[in-house]
Amino acid sequence: MNRLEGKTALVTGAARGLGEAIARRFTEAGARVFINDLNLSAAQETAARLGGYGLAADVSSADSVAAMFAELWKQTDSLDILVNNAGISGLEGMNDIDQRMADMLSHAEKVAAGAPIDSIPGGTDSATDSDWQRMMSVHVDGTFHCSREALKRMYPAKSGNIINMGSIMGTLGRGGGTAYCTAKAAILGFTRALAHEAAPMNVRVNAIAPGWIATDMTDPMEAMHPMLKMQTPLARLGDVDDIAWAAVYLASEEAKFVTGQTLSPNGGWYMSQ
Ligand SMILES: NC(=O)c1ccc[n+]([C@@H]2O[C@H](COP(=O)([O-])OP(=O)(O)OC[C@H]3O[C@@H](n4cnc5c(N)ncnc54)[C@H](O)[C@@H]3O)[C@@H](O)[C@H]2O)c1
């Protein structure tokens, strides 16, 4: 069934992972898909594989996003669907991830056992300004920058659909991850406010809040996977299609009365959001 036949979509951070899976399912559902990522050749490689069009931009930069949309408008007059998916874990480029994971696991065991705690691994007391700001700028500014450019055409067209990538971390606080949790909580707040604003213009805005999904982002946290599976009622990490199908639903006419919502495929981690 071509649920997105004739639609045009832009998915950010789509060279791999959840964004790529969403772009693939959108394409199969009949949409013409534009694939953004930081690196043009990575975006173009994925686009060539899926039959889409690759666009480079760092979503955290307003200028970079404006330039990407200028290129997008050369290829299409309108945009029906924007998926603000680009994101970072904050672990990118770190060469001591295994040690960090081991420290976090041993910390969790100590807390559970009621043992004395001297320090918090990845704690807010040791966070740097630049790490904090990068987390906010990629997730929060990026979602704002791309939404703003898309709405410049969606509002006059009185039609559009925006899907923002949140996380269960946006509602669940998690020690050692305050920046990520704060950024994702902001995205959920932005989603609700924008949904309210955009409804009279027939633009729907929703969020997806994935649980733990197996991607390149969560691979480096492999040491934590057994614990995460144990804490998940469905006893596994999600796969990328668990999220991609949620995006297809929200983007389709089947969700025409759905706006301001957070859909959370999370294996039962949360029983409701
Ligand atoms: N994997 C999970 O368990 C999980 C859970 C909840 C939410 N999420 C969110 O889902 C989204 C995708 O995650 P993923 O697991 O596919 O991660 P991933 O690391 O596999 O893919 C993220 C993609 O975003 C791109 N990107 C990063 N910064 C960018 C920027 N400034 N501009 C443009 N592109 C940028 C990366 O290059 C990469 O291709 C993220 O927003 C993430 O926070 C993931």
Q: What is the pLDDT of residues 180-210, one digit of tens each?
A: 999 999 999 999 999 999 999 999 999 999 9
- Best mutation site among 10, 25, 49, 88 for ligand 1, i.e. most ligand atoms within 8 A of its Cβ? 88
Atom of ligand 1 nearest to the CA of 42: 39
Atom of ligand 1 nearest to the CA of 61: 31
104 C-beta closer than 6 A to ligand 1: no
- Domain residue ranges of the chain, discontinuous segments joined by +: 8-97+131-263
- Best mutation site among 12, 16, 18 for ligand 1, i.e. most ligand atoms within 8 A of its Cβ? 18
Determine the distance separating the centroid of ligand 1 and the alpha carbon of 152, expressed in angstroms.
25
What does the pLDDT average to over 244-262?
98
Q: How confident is the model at residue 161 (pLDDT cuts 50, 70, 90)?
A: very high
CATH fold, domain 8-97+131-263, is Rossmann fold (3.40.50)
User: Is a pLDDT exceeding 70 seen at residue 118?
Assistant: yes
**What tokens appear for 250 in the block?**
């929200």
The rounded percent of the chain whose pLDDT value lies above 70 is 99
Q: How confident is the model at residue 176 (pLDDT cuts 50, 70, 90)?
A: confident
pLDDT of residue 39: 97
Active site residue 180: yes
pLDDT of residue 273: 54
> pTM for this one?
0.97
pLDDT digits (tens, 9 = 90+) for 57-100: 999 999 999 999 999 999 999 999 999 999 999 999 888 888 98
pLDDT of residue 173: 85
239 vs 100, residue with greater confidence: 239
Determine the distance separating the centroid of ligand 1 and the alpha carbon of 36, expressed in angstroms.
12
Atom of ligand 1 nearest to the CA of 237: 3
167 C-beta closer than 6 A to ligand 1: yes
